[in-house]
Every structure is written in C-alpha cells, then in structure tokens.
Amino acid sequence: MNLRAFLDTIVLLTKSEGWELTNTSTPIIEFKNVGLSYDDNEVLKNIDLALEAGKFYTLLGPSGSGKTTILNLISGQLTPTRGDILFEGDVINDVPVEKRHMNTVFQDYGLFPNMNVFDNVAFGPSIKGMSKADIKNKVTEMLELVKLTAYADREINELSGGQKQRVAIARALANDPEVLLLDEPLSALDYKLRKEMQYELREIQQRLGITFVFVTHDQEEALAMSDWIYVMNDGVVQQNGSPEDIYDEPINHFVADFIGESNILDGVMKADYLVHFTGKDFENVDAGMRPNEQVEVVLRPEDLDLTSVENGKLVVTIDDQSFRGDYYEITAIDDDGNEWQVQATNKSTIGERVGLTFDPEDIHIMRFNESEDDFDARLESYEDDSDDVKA
Amino acid sequence: MLGKIKWANIYLWFVFILLYLPIFFLIIYSFNAGDVMQGWSGFSWKHYGELFADTRIIEIVVNTFLIAILSSLLASVIGTAGALYIYNLKQPLAKNVLLSLNNVLLVSPDVIIGASFLILFTVLGFSLGFTSVLLSHIAFSIPIVVLMVLPRLQEMNQSLVASAKDLGANNWQMLSRVVLPVISPGILAGFFMAFTYSLDDFAVTFFVTGNGFSTLSVEVYSRARQGVSLEINALSAMMFIVSLLMVIAYYIISTRAAKNKKRGAQMMLAATEGL
Amino acid sequence: MMSKRKQQRQLFYLVPYGAWLLLFVIAPLVLLLFQSLTTQDGHFTLANYAIYFGSGTYLLMTFNSVWYAFLITLITLVISYPMAYLLNQLKRKQFWLLLIILPTWINLLLKTYAFIGLLSKSGTVNNFLGLWGIVPQQLLFSNWSFLLVAAYIEIPFMILPIFNSLAEIDPRLAQASRDLGANKWQTLWRVTMPLSMSGVKAGIQAVFIPSLSLFMITRLIGGNRVITLGTAIEEHFLVTQNWRLGSTIGVILIVAMVITMILTRDRGRQSSRKRG
C-alpha cells in the first residue's frame, strides 16, 4: 500500500467514524460569552458561537430577537459590552469595522446613490489602493459572478430591486472577504425572485468556499440554504443545528412554533417510549425522562394522515379546509377540543368525522427548560441506540 | 479616539459662542449703569426705565408688531388660496410656471424687492407710510405661506376628498370641513414664518416707509448711525426674550401638529432655507 | 373637462392670489426693467446700460461686490460644513439645531448693532486685545469687519441646508463605506461629502445672493469702504434719486442672481426633493 492510499484511508476512516474535525481547527469566528446591553436593556445574553470556515450559517429569528445585533457585532458596527469575539483565534473586540476581513450585504442594499454600478463595486478595491487595471478586472469578475456584466455603467436608481441586490453582493465580495455577512438581503424581493436568489447565493457560497453568515426571519429560506442554523429569540440562541435537526427535533415550544407549522400539545411521558396526550397513550421513540414527566408533544401537519375512523389513532371532525396547490390544509378538532393542522392529499367534507393517524417516530417530545447541551446529549443517546439496533 | 471627540466638541462650542456672543453682549450692556457699550460701570435698570419713557420707541414697537400680525394674517389667507389654486391645477406646465413665479420674491434680494415696490407705489401714486409697508410685508410673506401649505395638500389623503365628494359635500363644506383641518398645521407654520419675516425685515421697509412711519429695524438703523444708546440694548434684550418664547411656542405647536419631532424641525428648516 | 363647480372654486382662489402675482411679482419686475430702459419722457434707450458698462467705477464696484460675496460665502461654508457635520452626529440634534436657528430670529439690525459696540475703538474686542498689550486698532469700518459681520449673519443659513442634506443621507451608507474598508476620513470624502452637495449648493445660493445685495452692513460696519451692488441701488434710489440707473443696477443684480441659481442648480434630484 503506497503512502497516498494510506492517507486517503485514514481520511475516510476519520470521516466514517464521525470524528469531530472542528475541535482540531480553529473556528473562523467565535463568540465567547458575548453580551450586549444598552443602558439597562439587555439585547444579547451570553452568546456562544463557533463558526467554521467555508460554511453557510443562518441566524434565524423574529424581529428583535438579536440576530442582526450578532451580525453587527461580527462586522464591528457594534462592540460587545461583555465577552470576547474572536477571528481565527484572535480577539477582535476593538478592531474597527474597516480593518476586519469581512464584508456585509445590507438589508436595503446600502448602495451609494452618487456612484454607478461599476464605482459601487470598485469602492472597496479602490480604497485598498489597487491599480486601475486590477480594479477593472476585479469589478468585471464580480459582475460576472452576479450576472450583471451588462450593467456596469447603470446608475443605481435605474436598477430593479433584484439587480440592486446583486450589485450589493458583488460590492461586498469585491473585497475578497473571508466572511460574508448578509442582513436579510432577500426580504425586499418578491417571492419568485427570492427563490431564485436563494439558489444563487448558495451557489456563490459553494463556488467561493468562504463563510456566509445569513440573517433572516424566514424559516423556509433558512432551511433551504443553510449548513447550520442558529435559532434566536429574546437575545438568546434557542437552538443550533443542521436544518434537518432543527426541523425534526425542535428543542422547545418557540422553535417548534417558529420553524414550520406544528401541532403542539401538552403531554406526559408515562415511561420510556410511551407518551400520553389527548387522553390516550401512544408509542413513541423517546426515552430517558423522569417517569410521568410533563412534556410538550409536537406533531408536524405533513406527518399526519387522515384515514377511516376505525383505523385512526384519534378521531377528529373536519372544521375547515383550504386548497394550497399541492395539498389541502385541513383544520380538524378532536374530541378533547384540540385543534389539529393536517396536510392532506385528498379533499374532505367539512363536518365529516375521520380518523387521524401518525407513526411513532413522528411524535417529537420537548422537555420544559431543557438546556441545549442536555438536549444534544439526549439526541445523541438515541442515535447510539439506533446504531446498536442496526449493528 | 477620545482626542478627536474633544476637538469636535471644542469646535461646536466655538461656533455656538460665536453665534451667541453678540446677542449676550447686547443683553449684558443693557444693564450697564454707564451710557455706552464700553467699560462696565455697574448694574442698573435705568435703560429699561428710559425705554419705557420713550413714547416714540414704544409707538414704533407697537407699529412693528401691528404690521407683523396684520401682514401675516392676510398673507396666510391669500397664500392658502394660492396653494389651493396651484394644487388644483392639472397641467404640470402651468403648475411649474406658477410655482416659479411664486418663488421669485423668495429668492430675490430684498434690495430689489424694496426698490421695485418703491417704483410700483410711486407709479400708482400711492403715498408711502403704514399702508405701503403693510402691503409690502403681505406681498413678501405670501410665497412663504404657499410653500408651507402646499406640501400639506400634497400629503393629503386623496380618498378623503373623494369620499367627502361622494357624501355630497359642496365646495364650501369640502374646504371648511375636510381640506382646511388637514392643512391647518401648514397654515400655522406659514403664519409664524411670515410673522418673523415681517418682524425681521429691514431693507424692504426701508425703501417703502417714507418719512412719517418707522418700524423697529429702520429706527435702530437711523439711531445706530447717530451713535449708540443703551436704550436699544434694553429693547434688544426684550426682543430676545420675545423671540425665545416664539421659538419655543412655534416648536411646541409644530412638533405637536406634525406629531413627529423631526418633521417639525424640518418645517422650520424649509422655511428658514428660503431666506 | 372641469366641472362648473370646480371652475367657480378655482376662480375664488385665483382672484386674491392672482392679484398678488400680477401686482407684486410681475408688475414690479416689469417696472424695474422699464425704468432701466427708458428716458425721462418714456422713450426707449440703452443709455443707462451704456453708462454702467462704460464706467470703470461701476464695473469695479460690481467686481468688488461679487468678490466680497464670494469671500463671505467661502468663509461661511468653511465654518458651516464641519459644524453641520458635527451637529448631525450629536444625540439630540434637533435641539442643537434649534439653537442654531434661534439667532436668526433676532432682528438683524440688533445683531449688527451689537458689533458696533464689540468692534469700536474702545470696544470690548480692543479692550480684550489690550490685555495682551496690543494697541487699539480701528476694527470698525474696515473690509475685515464687513466680512466678519456679514459671515456672522449668514452662517446659520449655510448650516441649515447642509445639515438638512446630511441628515437625509441614509446612515447605512456610511456603515457600508466603513464595512468596505474606508476609514472615517475616506468615508467623509468619498461618500458623505458628495451626497451632501445638494445642501452645499442650496447654502451657497442662500448666502451668495443676499451677500451681493447687502447695504445695511456695508454702511454700519463697513463704513462705506465696501460698495456692493445693494449699496449702489440704495444710494441711487434713496440718496441721488437716479432711479433709472438704480433700476439698471437692479437688473444687473437680478441677472447675477439668475446666473448663481443656474450654477448651483441641483440637477439630479430636482424632482425628488423640493423643500423640506
């Protein structure tokens, strides 16, 4: 076996073993217990983040949740009142905005109205003192990247919203940042254009291989684009994880409610793998809680199916329905008076009594006041269990 | 960083002191026991006594305020009518021509306004005095009112007018119940601006005042040429207090009317910009 | 088509406003022009313009007037731009702005009168200089005192429009500039200043035109050393009673004003922002 093949095997092994490569390399951006207060107002509370180079991160949350504040702390527009912000391992709390190796795509673009498209994109390189020819090359390259080559001489006020967006991206990238910060960049665009830009942004990020930190309040956008999502509320990171993790295993009521649509009910874990809600016991896949612990139960509308009354785990009455193109959104009420959102493929009749069914693994359990670390540990233990089963 | 901020503050203070130095200088010397704006001979109210005993200056102050109130009231009425006329015009060309004509007196140097009004009154055979001064003040105040009222009209909700029409309001009802209440902050702002323009005017009045009639500015001008009297300082101090109260009143009214602090100050800015 | 009702209404508005336009805007200008172009007995003549353009004194006076107006504008601009910029950074800027506006509400004559006391030979400034052993100077009735007082009077009118245009700039643009690597000064030079040019132009307009026509300050402070176009007009109308030549200079002043306005016109954004 030659050396090259040997090394490749090791790389393969480490990957398959799920070794954490993050521990060996320094994160590009790190927040250590960062807080921010205005007067007596605590905007951010003890934030810890570790962002790896080359990934697409999203800070997701409602307005006022602190997501844009985090972005401004990273870019340097704000200085933390507590804790440290690190860039490639060095504390950068006091490094001014213009000296950081990152650039921002602003929410309403922040394009200079007194300059045309070319000069906007050329702004960063010309501040750096690049030669005229280099600037021209750089701008051309950037405009190609965002597909605006023909627009170099246009004035900013002649551009559509989507084009302005592209110029803002090109301008930020023209500085060769190691991290690109995007502050709700797509929120002003219409639905179709937004979808298109989501795809393109993702593509640009993968092509350039730099770190993106994307701020949005749109959970669909976050799920579609990100490698990793931080869900924010009230100045606190509620949960972080891959889009799948966050969608499938929300840690608490807020996350379950904010990400996708959810039916959230109060329940009791009677024993391992047995949960009680709406007056009945159901088999599920969660374990490790105190006997009879009060929990919240989450069932996603798309995981629910309507069936005959005899086959249903619950019996519900159809209350309302609306056609959504690829499915019917149905509101049904069970005998306890709980309201259920169901996505069904077939049309129903209002007032009809039907059965409601779901699989044990579609029941997600959320404990009250569970910390993120405990939550992660619990999830990991399930994964170990399932691995055991496979083995 | 800290050093820079300090320099900025020093500069701000420097300009503010420069702006207020002459004003406070006047006020301080109004209390001088001596008779000149030089050397300090001790504190005294005597110049205020002289001021109130001087019937001529009191008559002039009364005249000045009378002219200011009458001219700004009449200018508010005519200016509002003008703003309504311009607002209702459909053709953009006619609108622009009228707006340009409207602004002629705003941008013209006051010497030109004064000289040309003097020719006008002479040609018409109008004798110079109270009426000619009043007419001139109305004339240069009208465009200010128009400029204050017009933006209010443009901001007015169109569906408000349409629904009033739909409900059968006639011309007069429409004006008094719908339009005037909406634009009243603009009219008020215009009135205040016209009032202060009138109080402050010197050059136009100087040309059209004739011999018998005088306003405060003209009187100060002629007295200052003869030599300074601290009576004028006492008057200045009192005028300063009046101005201060008016600024505060205007600020409160305009901010409350606009329901938004920024707007209020902008209204004031727009008005002062035209000077 | 306008309804009859609407026509009635428009007529009702037009009568007072139209009368004002005719009588106090159009008629005075026409009369001024007419005066400058006619002889005593009403015949057309260019003689007044010939006198004006043929006289070295008048041309020099015009040049001086423009030169001093330029100096006054320059001085106020240099003082006002940093002031407007710094005011805009303050926390309660509307309040501070009010303090800038307040002196403009004080009668112009009273402020000028104050300078007579400040600058006279035994006045406060000379006493102050005396403390350093400087011999009392004749400060009043000099070109410098004229420039000082005129600039003092005009500063607020320069600060206000510049402040306005600075306040209108989206603060995000300065943030974007910093974000792209520009420091504070580069941001000021490349982003903030170009975007505030409309305010600078408005300020130049608001200061330059009145400065051309000052006559009260030239008499009280300048001691007739500086003769401006305004002084000449006042003298011809009220002292020598030569209205025809006075009107001619008036027409010249109007032409100068129009040229100034064309030069400082805000081309790009005329439609988007009128006043306030």
Write down the residue that tokens 């090259």 correspond to. Answer: A4
C132 close contact with B: CB closer than 8 A: no
Write down the residue that tokens 């007596």 correspond to. Answer: A40
Report all structural domains of chain A as residue ranges with CATH numbers, in order of start: 25-248 (3.40.50.300), 261-301+359-371+381-391 (2.40.50), 305-357 (2.40.50.140)
How many whole angstroms separate alpha carbon B5 and alpha carbon C199?
24
Contact C179 A123 (CB under 8 A): no
Contact A123 C190 (CB under 8 A): yes
What is the mean pLDDT of the segment spanning B76-103?
92
Q: What is the CA A86 to chain-centroid distance, rounded?
A: 22
User: In DSSP terms, which residues pair with A121 in a beta bridge?
Assistant: none
**Among partner residues C94, C108, C156, which is closest to B217 by beta-carbon distance?**
C108
How many whole angstroms separate alpha carbon C111 and alpha carbon B22?
6
Task: Give which of B191, B225, B240, B219 is closest to B64, Cα–Cα.
Answer: B219
For B113-154, the DSSP string reads: HHHHHHHHHHHTTPPPSHHHHHHHHHHHHHHHHHHHHHHHHH
- Taking CA–CA distances from C176, the nearest residue in chain A reads A110
Report whether C159 contacts C84 (CB < 8 A): yes
How many whole angstroms separate alpha carbon B13 and alpha carbon A195?
54
Report whether A180 contacts A28 (CB < 8 A): no
Residues in chain C: 276
Q: Which amino acid is at A47?
A: I
Task: Give which of C171, C41, C105 is closest to B245, Cα–Cα.
Answer: C105
Q: Is C261 left (phi over 0), alpha (psi -120 to 50) or beta?
A: alpha
pLDDT in tens, C161-206: 999 999 999 999 999 999 999 999 999 999 999 999 999 999 998 8
**Does the structure's ipTM exceed the value 0.90?**
no
**Among partner residues C173, C179, C183, which is closest to A112 by beta-carbon distance?**
C173
How many whole angstroms separate alpha carbon B48 and alpha carbon B33?
11
Task: Give the per-residue pLDDT at B257.
Answer: 58
Domain boundaries B56-273, CATH class: mainly alpha
Task: Give the per-residue pLDDT at A243.
Answer: 94
C237 close contact with B: CB closer than 8 A: yes
Q: What is the CA A266 to chain-centroid distance, rounded?
A: 26
SS3 state of residue A18: coil
Contact C194 A114 (CB under 8 A): yes
Question: Model confidence at B235, in pLDDT bands (50, 70, 90)?
Answer: confident
Q: Is the pLDDT of residue B227 over 80?
A: no
How many whole angstroms separate alpha carbon A186 and alpha carbon A214?
10
For residue B160, the tally of other CB atoms under 10 A from its CB is: 13
> What is the token pair recorded at A374?
């405990």
Handedness of CA A64, A65, A66, A67 (dihedral sign): negative
Question: What residues of chain C lie within 8 A of the CB of B262, using their CB?
Answer: 94
Contact C176 A175 (CB under 8 A): no
Write down the residue that tokens 């005075």 correspond to. Answer: C28
Question: What residues of chain C lie within 8 A of the CB of B23, using their CB?
Answer: 103, 106, 111, 114
Task: Give the per-residue pLDDT at C269.
Answer: 42
pLDDT in tens, C4-58: 777 888 888 899 999 999 999 999 999 999 999 998 888 888 988 999 899 888 9
Mutate to test the interface with B, among C24, C207, C270 (most CBs of B within 10 A): C24
Q: Is the pLDDT of residue C145 over 50?
A: yes
Q: Is A352 left (phi over 0), alpha (psi -120 to 50) or beta?
A: beta
How many whole angstroms separate alpha carbon A327 and alpha carbon A333?
19
What is the residue extent of each domain of chain C? 45-263
Q: Is the pLDDT of residue B241 over 90?
A: no
How many whole angstroms separate alpha carbon B204 and alpha carbon B141?
12
Task: Give the per-residue pLDDT at A142.
Answer: 95
- Taking CA–CA distances from B79, the nearest residue in chain C reads C17
Q: Is the pLDDT of residue B273 over 70?
A: no
Q: Tell me the whole-structure pTM to 2 decimals.
A: 0.81
How many whole angstroms separate alpha carbon A306 and alpha carbon C244?
99
Q: Is A112 left (phi over 0), alpha (psi -120 to 50) or beta?
A: beta
Task: Give the per-residue pLDDT at C83.
Answer: 95
How many whole angstroms separate alpha carbon C246 and alpha carbon C233?
5
pLDDT in tens, B120-159: 999 999 889 999 999 999 999 999 999 999 988 988 877 7
How far is residue A70 from each of residues A151, A184, B138, measured CA to CA in Å? 33, 13, 58
Our CA-based measurement puts residue B154 at a distance from the nearest CA of chain C, in whole angstroms, of 12
Alpha helices in C47-107 (DSSP H): 47-54, 56-89, 93-101
Task: Give the per-residue pLDDT at B177.
Answer: 83
Return the CATH fold of C45-263: MetI-like fold (1.10.3720)
Q: What is the CA A136 to chain-centroid distance, rounded?
A: 36
Q: Say if residue A175 is exposed, middle or buried (CB neighbours under 10 Å; 0-12, 13-18, 19+).
A: buried
Rg of chain B over all Cα atoms, to the nearest angstrom:
22
For β-strands A102-105 and A179-183, DSSP reports them as: parallel
Task: Give the per-residue pLDDT at A16.
Answer: 43
Residues in chain A: 391
What is the mean pLDDT of the segment spanning C130-151?
81
pLDDT in tens, C215-239: 888 888 887 777 888 889 998 998 8
Report whether C204 contacts C77 (CB < 8 A): yes
Q: What is the CA A21 to chain-centroid distance, rounded?
A: 21
Q: Say if residue A71 is exposed, middle or buried (CB neighbours under 10 Å; 0-12, 13-18, 19+).
A: buried
pLDDT in tens, C106-133: 888 888 888 888 887 777 777 777 777 7
For residue C195, the tally of other CB atoms under 10 A from its CB is: 19
Contact C175 A127 (CB under 8 A): no
Q: Is B89 left (phi over 0), alpha (psi -120 to 50) or beta?
A: beta
- What mean pLDDT, rounded, does chain C reach? 86
How many whole angstroms separate alpha carbon B129 and alpha carbon C184?
58
Report whether B35 contacts B230 (CB < 8 A): yes
Task: Give the per-residue pLDDT at A388.
Answer: 47
Task: Give the per-residue pLDDT at A151.
Answer: 94
**Among partner residues C82, C97, C99, which is closest to B11 by beta-carbon distance?**
C82
How many whole angstroms separate alpha carbon C178 and alpha carbon C180?
5
What is the residue extent of each domain of chain B? 56-273
User: In DSSP terms, which residues pair with A318 in a beta bridge?
Assistant: A332
How many whole angstroms separate alpha carbon A279 and alpha carbon A335?
10
How many whole angstroms separate alpha carbon A355 and alpha carbon C37?
101
Which residues lie below 8 Å from residue A48, measured CB to CB, with a gap of 6+?
Answer: A31, A32, A33, A34, A237
For residue A331, the tally of other CB atoms under 10 A from its CB is: 16
Query: Which long-range contacts (C-beta less than 8 Å, at least 24 apart) are formed by A320-329?
Result: A320/A350, A321/A347, A321/A348, A321/A350, A323/A347, A327/A302, A329/A301
- Taking CA–CA distances from C268, the nearest residue in chain A reads A114
Contact A106 C172 (CB under 8 A): yes
How many whole angstroms separate alpha carbon A216 and alpha carbon C175?
20
A68 close contact with C: CB closer than 8 A: no
Q: Is the pLDDT of residue B254 over 80?
A: no
For β-strands A314-323 and A29-38, DSSP reports them as: unpaired
Neighbours of chain C (3+ CB pairs under 8 A): A, B
Q: Is the pLDDT of residue C103 over 70?
A: yes
Our CA-based measurement puts residue A173 at a distance from the nearest CA of chain C, in whole angstroms, of 9
How many whole angstroms separate alpha carbon B135 and alpha carbon B138?
5
Which residues lie below 8 Å from residue C145, measured CB to CB, with a gap of 6+?
Answer: C115, C119, C139, C221, C222
User: In DSSP terms, which residues pair with A264 in a beta bridge?
Assistant: A298
How many whole angstroms separate alpha carbon C265 and alpha carbon C205?
9
Task: Give the per-residue pLDDT at C267.
Answer: 59
Q: How high is the mean pLDDT in each 10-residue block of chain A (391 residues)?
A: 51 45 71 89 89 94 91 92 92 90 91 94 93 95 93 93 93 94 89 90 93 94 93 92 90 89 90 89 86 90 91 91 89 90 89 92 85 74 55 36
Task: Give which of A135, A206, A201, A141 is closest to A165, Cα–Cα.
Answer: A201
How many whole angstroms separate alpha carbon A149 and alpha carbon B6?
47
- Taking CA–CA distances from C6, the nearest residue in chain B reads B171
Task: Give which of B168, B214, B187 is closest to B54, Cα–Cα.
Answer: B214
Our CA-based measurement puts residue B193 at a distance from the nearest CA of chain C, in whole angstroms, of 10
3-state secondary structure A67-93: HHHHHHHHHCCCCCCEEEEEECCEECC
Higher pLDDT, A13 or B101: B101
Report whether B66 contacts B138 (CB < 8 A): no
